A = this chain, B = another copy of it.
Amino acid sequence: MAQVTLDELNRMDQRAFVAALGDIFEHAPWVAEAAHNARPFPSLNALYEAMTAAVRGAGDGRQMTLINGHPDLAGKAAREGTMTTDSKHEQSSAGLDRLSADEFAAFHRLNNAYREKFGMPFIVCVRRHGKESILRQFERRLGNDAATERDAALTEIFRIGALRLDQRVTASDRLRVHGRLSTHVLDTHAGCPASGVTIELFEVASSGEPHLLSRTITNADGRTDHPLIAEQPIPIAHYELRFGIGEYFARQAVAVADPPFLGIVPIRFAVAEPEAHYHVPIIVTPWSYSTYRGS
């Protein structure tokens, strides 16, 4: 779907407005329809508030219809190809389109248990989670009561909508839906930033091979030209950064052991707040390093 500016939206009649934003909430163009009345919007956040207010103000019936309009995770809709395009992209971002048979069975079992207990599909903003985190959410939320789960479903629907809206609409403000993962390599042997260090970022699951997300190299400031992750939530998951420290010092005029004490330096950490900034630097000599969650 093409991007649209907030100014354009503010000038649209209801039909055009619903055509532009009718799919922000899954199968629920009535949300955009209701929000249209609140024009003009001074900011993207104001537009978002108007849309969520429309959902909150709708009756129980409409809310349940909205909830029930969402597909099962990794479920029948996916296999039968009846999901909306947005839903498809969202589910594939978390690797839900690459499940093993065991994982597929786990999702199937949890979907059924959830539906049986709550009479609605399990909804989660999958862009905020890795595969393992979704399963953990699933198991936790199965233990909730119905009222808590209904609130949880709406919270997740709002998160899904916020991400779609932020991508769809250009405005001078942004919704607070993005996190950032960055790094920095400082060479305290020479007292300067370490440039030319190769960095690989993996997502690490409790079983199976690490999944390579990106590969980059440090610039003259010891940083990467672009953040490792930006313009999206950082999925709640375990990660591993691998720094090519051995090769870096081999290129400097530094006497090291053979093989060098430090070759590939792995830093493994978990992200728990998808919208936060995680700065994970490494301060390194041929014989030592330290890391921390910076900001």
List residues of chain B with CB within 8 A of the CB of A290. Answer: 283, 288-291
With an 8 A cutoff between CB atoms, is A273 at the interface? yes
- Roughly how many angstroms separate A268 CA and B264 CA in the complex, as a whole number? 7
With an 8 A cutoff between CB atoms, is A270 at the interface? yes
User: Which of the segments A57-65, A97-105, A188-196 contacts the partner chain?
Assistant: A188-196
Which residues of chain A (250-295) have a CB below 8 Å from chain B?
A: 257-266, 268-270, 272-273, 283, 285-295
Please tell me how many copies of the chain the complex holds: 4
Q: A257 is contacted by which of B270, B289, B294, B295 (Cβ under 8 Å)?
A: B270
A295 near B262 with CB under 8 A, answer no
With an 8 A cutoff between CB atoms, is A161 at the interface? no
With an 8 A cutoff between CB atoms, is A238 at the interface? yes
With an 8 A cutoff between CB atoms, is A221 at the interface? yes
A293 near B260 with CB under 8 A, answer no
List residues of chain B with CB within 8 A of the CB of A295. Answer: 186, 192-193, 221-222
**Chain A interface residues toward B at CB < 8 A:** 133, 186, 188-193, 221-222, 236, 238, 257-266, 268-270, 272-273, 283, 285-295
User: In the complex, given contacts A257-B272, A261-B269, what are 4 additional A-B residue pairs having Cβ atoms less than 8 angstroms apart?
Assistant: A191-B257, A191-B293, A266-B266, A288-B291
